[in-house]
């Protein structure tokens, strides 16, 4: 069987997918419900207020904006469907931009203000790592999207609905075999904790597990935009594949410069390639592939229900992974609240823990948890020169 013939282009283009992307004494968390509305102490209050800390401006605003769309859809469904009875969720959106200090300040505010029952966290690992100790000390639940670095989940109150890349990145294995990749180079952002971890540990492990030898590894600055020198070196070495692990805006420049320097091998990335981030590279990025945690093409019923609802709300727009993750953060939290039948912070944490132990079907499909961290199957996405698609092995 020639596996190469079995990779086919999804007929349903995916316009997005991708990534990358303290201390205060706790006030009485049991006051959260009382301050929010009537009925405290006897089930749920009229309103439960949640602080959502997102990167709405700055270099990763594309992630924060899309995540917030997913959050808004989930809240709308929960309130309209009466998932929590007569109780309504209320989101207080805070823009942390690219400021770790600002994100920590918002979290401190949430801890000290008893009207907040929980936090929906940001996607940047640096911000999440600053928030988590505050949340743990203040005993307020936080549910993150993205934020893939080690050290983000530090205790019972911190949860994450974006699976670590290392848990689904092995889906690249069949593709490497199909393309007969034997040698590789790694180009990664050494100033970003998540990307550094991927570039130095996670991805090299997957590469070597598939029998591919790493010929070279190059780290670049967090804000690097000129990759011409390293691109020339990689083109001269001519490995079978280059693994590009950079931030969203860096990806199209690096891909274009690799091609312009004459590199003709496979270019393999990560979720930061998605969400339209290769648009400016156009045809030069055609054929670039990357493992992803979400596809709007997934046949999982819960994914298709999400996609249909999302397109109805946002004028036919196809959701990307950030939107799916934002959606799942809210539904995990809402299920936890319902399980707890309380707006008290500690009770919500215990409710979330029960839901996580059972798993549930979300926008990303079936969600299972290892502790407080989600796991998904993963898909292989690609850029065809004008739009994002999904590659699938048909098994024939």
Q: Is residue 112 part of a domain?
A: yes
241: domain CATH number is: 3.40.50.2300
Contact 97/59 with Cβ under 8 angstroms?
no
Q: Is residue 394 part of a domain?
A: no
The torsion region of residue 317 among left (phi > 0), alpha (psi -120 to 50) and beta comes to: beta
Residues 209 and 305 in one domain: no
pLDDT of residue 377: 84
Residues 66 and 122 in one domain: yes
For the chain, what is the domain count? 2
Smallest CA-to-CA distance from 329 within 291, 362, 292 is with 362
Residues 177 and 158 in one domain: no
Q: Is residue 25 part of a domain?
A: no
| Cα 133 from Cα 3, distance rounded (Å) | 48
Beta strand 47-54 with 88-95: parallel, antiparallel or unpaired? parallel
| Cα 194 from Cα 247, distance rounded (Å) | 10
Q: Which segments of the chain does DSSP mark as H helices, in order?
A: 31-36, 61-81, 100-112, 125-138, 165-168, 173-178, 193-197, 203-209, 228-237, 250-260, 301-313, 321-340, 345-358
The torsion region of residue 180 among left (phi > 0), alpha (psi -120 to 50) and beta comes to: left
Q: Is residue 6 part of a domain?
A: no
Residues 188 and 252 in one domain: yes
What's this model's pTM, rounded to 2 decimal places? 0.77
Residues 231 and 335 in one domain: no
| Cα 16 from Cα 273, distance rounded (Å) | 9
Q: Is residue 255 part of a domain?
A: yes
| Cα 107 from Cα 135, distance rounded (Å) | 7
pLDDT of residue 329: 98
Q: Is residue 211 part of a domain?
A: yes
Q: Is residue 133 part of a domain?
A: yes
Residues 72 and 176 in one domain: no
pLDDT of residue 393: 59
Residues 250-300 have pLDDT tens digits of 999 999 999 999 999 999 999 888 878 899 999 999 999 999 998 887 778
Residues 59 and 137 in one domain: yes
Residue 362's domain comprises 47-164+300-378
Give me the residues of the chain with pLDDT under 70, please.
1-42, 393-396
Number of Cβ atoms within 10 Å of the Cβ of 6: 15
Residues 191 and 276 in one domain: yes
Q: Where does a domain end: 292, 318, 333?
A: 292
Residues 157 and 176 in one domain: no
Q: Assign 8 to helix, strand or coil.
A: strand
Residues 311-326 have pLDDT tens digits of 999 999 989 899 999 9
Q: Is residue 234 part of a domain?
A: yes
Residues 178 and 276 in one domain: yes
Q: Where does a domain end: 259, 274, 292?
A: 292
**CB neighbour class for 85 (10 Å; exposed up to 12, middle 13-18, buried from 19):** exposed
Residues 255 and 198 in one domain: yes
Q: Assign 366 to helix, strand or coil.
A: strand
């Amino acid at each position: 069987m020639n596996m190469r013939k079995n990779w086919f282009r999804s007929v349903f283009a995916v316009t997005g997918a991708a990534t990358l992307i303290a201390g205060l004494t706790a006030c009485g968390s049991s006051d959260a419900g009382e301050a929010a509305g009537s009925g405290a102490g006897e089930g749920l209050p009229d309103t439960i207020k949640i602080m959502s800390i997102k990167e709405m401006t700055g270099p990763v605003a594309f992630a924060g904006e899309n995540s917030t769309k997913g959050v808004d859809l989930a809240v709308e469904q929960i309130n309209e469907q009466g998932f929590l009875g007569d109780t309504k969720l209320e989101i207080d959106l805070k823009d942390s931009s690219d400021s770790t200090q600002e994100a920590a300040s918002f979290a401190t505010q949430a801890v000290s203000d008893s009207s907040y029952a929980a936090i929906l966290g940001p996607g940047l690992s640096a911000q999440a790592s600053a928030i988590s100790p505050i949340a743990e000390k203040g005993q307020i639940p936080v549910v993150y999207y993205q934020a893939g670095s080690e050290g983000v989940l530090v205790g019972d109150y911190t949860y994450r609905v974006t699976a670590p890349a290392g848990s689904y990145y092995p889906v690249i294995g069949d593709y490497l075999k199909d393309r007969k990749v034997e040698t590789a180079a790694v180009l990664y952002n050494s100033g970003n904790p998540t990307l550094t971890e991927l570039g130095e540990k996670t991805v090299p492990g997957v590469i070597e597990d598939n029998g591919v030898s790493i010929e070279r590894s190059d780290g670049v600055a967090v804000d690097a935009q000129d990759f011409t020198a390293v691109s020339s070196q990689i083109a001269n070495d001519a490995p079978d594949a280059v693994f590009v692990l950079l931030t969203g805006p860096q990806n199209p420049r690096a891909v274009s410069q690799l091609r312009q320097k004459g590199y003709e091998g496979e270019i393999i990335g990560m979720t930061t390639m998605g969400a339209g981030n290769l648009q400016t590279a156009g045809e030069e990025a055609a054929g670039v592939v990357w493992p992803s945690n979400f596809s709007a093409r997934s046949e999982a019923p819960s994914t298709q229900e999400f996609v249909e609802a999302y397109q109805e709300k946002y004028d036919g727009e196809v959701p990307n992974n950030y939107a799916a993750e934002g959606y799942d953060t809210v539904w995990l939290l809402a299920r936890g609240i319902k399980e707890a039948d309380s707006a008290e912070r500690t009770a919500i944490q215990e409710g979330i823990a029960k839901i996580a132990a059972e798993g549930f079907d979300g926008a990303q499909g079936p969600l299972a948890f290892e502790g407080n961290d989600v796991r998904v199957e993963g898909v292989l996405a690609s850029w065809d020169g004008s739009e994002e698609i999904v590659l699938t092995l048909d098994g024939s």
